[in-house]
Structure 1
Amino acid sequence: MTPRTTDLCDDHGDLARVVEEQFHDFGGNVAFHGKVSTLLAFEDNSKVREALMEAGDGRVLVVDAGGSLRRAMLGDQLAEMAVKNGWSGLVIFGSVRDSAAIAALPLGVKAIGTSPRKTEKLGQGLRNVVVRLGGTDIHPGDWLYADEDGIVVSASPLT
Structure 2
Amino acid sequence: MLTIENKLVEEKIKQLRKAIEIVGGKSFLEEVKENGDLANLIISSSFNGEKVIFKIMNNEYQINELMKIKLDYEKNYIKMKKTYLEKICYKIKEYNTYLDSLIRKYRKNGGLEEFRAIKEEIELRYSKDINSFLLSKINIENNEETNDKYYYGDYLNSKKEDFINSIICNIV
What TM-score, normalized by structure 2, do the two folds share?
0.21
Kindly indicate whether structure 1 or structure 2 has the higher relative contact order, using CA contacts under 8 Å at least 6 residues apart: 1
What TM-score, normalized by structure 1, do the two folds share?
0.22
Higher normalized helix content (fraction of residues): 2
Higher normalized strand content (fraction of residues): 1
